[in-house]
Amino acid sequence: MVFLKVAVLILAVVVFYYILRNTLNEIMLTIKDGFIKIKRRNIETVEEPEVTSKRVGKNQYYSLRLPGINEKDIHLKKLGDSVEIRAYGKDRMYFKLLPLKPNSVIVSKRVEGQKLVLQIEEVE
């Protein structure tokens, strides 16, 4: 009986974690004077950014145009065979899935002006 209660509790925590993780990107938390302020992002449009890519040896470079986006508002999530990019601005969100080969790793992420530059390397 105790085992069943523990298993249900663990399952509830895991489900809560996944729900929270998916909504945190769309919620802004600010702490001021000891108070936590929670504000949902006001996203009016979702756009797919312009992407250019270049291959140099084992490295693939992607450049995504993200006007009006701060570096702290860019979120990357590596999925099995792709990388998900979400960038949040004042009233818009940029969303893009980039394909990855199974043996690829994200080496660097940097912002240059209004562009996000990703370096992805194929590891043997």
* pLDDT digit string, tens, across residues 54-93: 999 999 999 999 998 888 889 998 888 899 999 988 888 8
Per-residue confidence band for 123, with pLDDT thresholds at 50, 70 and 90: confident
pLDDT computed for residue 17 by the predictor: 60
What are the two backbone dihedrals, phi and then psi, of residue 18, each rounded to the nearest 5 degrees? Answer: -65, -40
* pLDDT digit string, tens, across residues 3-33: 777 777 777 666 666 555 554 455 666 666 7
Question: Under a CB-based contact definition with an 8 Å cutoff, are residues 89 and 98 in contact?
Answer: no
Mean pLDDT over 39-43 rounds to: 70
Which residues, 6 or more positions from 40, have their beta carbon under 8 angstroms from its beta carbon?
A: 26, 27, 28
Strand pairing of 92-99 and 45-47? parallel
Strand pairing of 104-112 and 115-122? antiparallel
